[in-house]
Amino acid sequence: MKKVIDLISWFFVVITVTVLIFTMLTTYQFIFLKYFNSYKLVELSTFFTMIIWGLKLLEQKEKINILYPLMCILIAICTIFFMYIGVY
């Protein structure tokens, strides 16, 4: 199970970085991609990445302080809150 969560967490990191790069390229009008013209995809990918990393860090609780998984989950909650109020 640990290897599956590790693989999924790094997959979401790659997805988030890719989404961020495409969003920045679209924002600065180097390319135009329809779904990357707002920060909504960046916020969604950040939300899922932080949730997965929070779970990954909770699984390794014997090595890591509990503060780090809680911070990841807090970042995910703040991201969804800002999406809900329309900051994107």
Whole-model pTM? 0.87
pLDDT truncated to tens, each residue of the chain (88 aa)? 788 999 999 999 999 999 999 999 999 999 999 989 988 999 999 999 999 999 998 888 676 688 889 999 999 999 999 999 987 6
pLDDT in the model for residue 20: 96
CB count within 10 Å of CB 13 equals: 14
Distance CA 20, CA 8 (A): 18
Question: CB neighbours (10 Å) of residue 44?
Answer: 17
Range(s) of the domain holding residue 54: 2-85
Alpha-carbon distance of 12 to 50, in angstroms, equals: 9
pLDDT of 26 reads 95
Give the residue from 45, 43, 47, 42 showing the smallest Cα distance to 74.
47
- Are 75 and 46 in contact by the 8 Å Cβ rule? The answer is yes
- Structure-block tokens of residue 83: 């999406």
How many domains does the structure of the chain reveal? 1
pLDDT given at position 65:
82
